Amino acid sequence: GCVPDEIVIVDLKDPVGLASCCGRARLVLNCTGPYRFLGEFVVEACIAARSHLMDLCGEPEFYDRVLLAHDDAARAAGVLIVHAAAWDSVPADIGTLLATRHARDLGLLTQSVQVYHRFHEISVAHVTTFEAAVHGFASASAGTLRRLRKDVARKFPRPPRQPHHRSLPQRAFYWAKEHHAYAVKFMGSDVSVVRGSQRLLLAQNHPELCPPVSVFFLVETTFGMLLVLIVGTLFSILARFKWGRSLLLRYPEVFSLGFFTHNGPSKKQLAQASFVTTIVPTCCPAKDPHAVPSTAHAASVAIAGPEPGYVATPLLFLAMAHTLLEDLDVLPQQAGCVMPASMVGDGPALQGLVSRMIQGGIAVQTGIKFGANLGC
């Protein structure tokens, strides 16, 4: 309900004007995608203006490209560039950090982490998300993302995996008995974001916080699972070809069975929807890293809130923004390209962020058991 103090209109292709605009703020919040087409102009302007930047980006190609092209300049300018600072991918990234940190405090070594998203009463989303997915799949199919990741690995080599880490089985879907639902591989940016955070957490000497991670979303019925398989298969086939992408972009409602629309969800639909993200570490005792691992319920974390895309997203975004501005002096890295967990690190800023999330209406609980009700 806040009225903006003023509205400034600047052409993205006017670098001087854009830098002048960005320079009026300590922190610029970029809410406009697809970032692969529109985001890099703002990154360059913020670096030139020495203003911090935070975005909602869930596009791995974009933040990998920014890391390669602009991390050095951002560090030199003293500018933080924070990606994926909302539902993509704060629950998964911060939740993984909280779970592994709590496991460590319990005297456990985390061998792997599984993240599960459960959605309630979500029936409609805006077509912009669908468009970003089409372009992202096209980039992955063309090998662009794979080449970028190889370049990132060369410039920012990852230390060897810890001896107690265990690779996770690569499954497209399976019946998750403990959740009473099908667990389907989540094709969003969460895994990429968590790995990006782990790269910096390792540099901050926290290998115990950096296990292999897999992410799933939960589908409660067999009929729903069949719809996911049909839509997912059709999407993956069409998105590989230019003519197929044209069809997908022209008829998003048809190819998503009405889920993605140009109007987006109504106020009633937003009010009814919610999410719960459960982060489940598999651990062994720190004194016996070769012991048979087991699910560490005591270290599990659940993060829950209202409708993720349009209600929880601004709550998470603002919690991240206030943390950057108010806790900047205690952040482990005060310049360069970071993800949510690597921005706050294993220190006081993490607790500050969690407190702000809770104050904003996002529930965060540790030691949660499967199926527990968080009131969302």
Per-residue confidence in pLDDT tens, the chain, 376 aa: 566 678 889 999 899 999 999 999 999 999 988 899 999 999 999 999 999 999 999 999 999 999 999 999 999 999 999 999 999 999 999 999 999 999 999 999 999 999 999 999 998 898 988 998 898 888 888 888 889 999 999 988 776 676 667 777 778 999 999 999 999 999 999 999 999 999 999 888 888 899 999 999 999 999 999 999 999 999 999 999 999 999 999 999 999 999 999 999 999 999 999 999 999 999 988 888 778 788 888 899 999 999 999 999 999 999 999 999 999 999 999 999 999 999 999 999 999 999 999 999 999 999 866 545 554 4
Residue 138 lies in a domain: yes
Are 330 and 349 a contacting pair, CB within 8 Å? Answer: yes
Residue 70 lies in a domain: no
Residue 291 lies in a domain: yes
Residue 330 lies in a domain: no
Output the DSSP codes for 26-78. SEEEE--S-HHHHHHHHHHHHHHHT-EEEE----HHHHHHHHHHHHHHHHHHT
Instruction: Of 165, 167, 199, 168, give the one whose Cα is nearest residue 183.
Output: 168
CA distance 281 to 300: 6
What is the extent of the structural domain holding 102?
A: 90-308+348-366
Residue 233 lies in a domain: yes
Residue 78 lies in a domain: no
Q: How far is CA 357 from the centre of its chain?
A: 15
Residue 76 lies in a domain: no
| Number of structural domains in the chain | 1
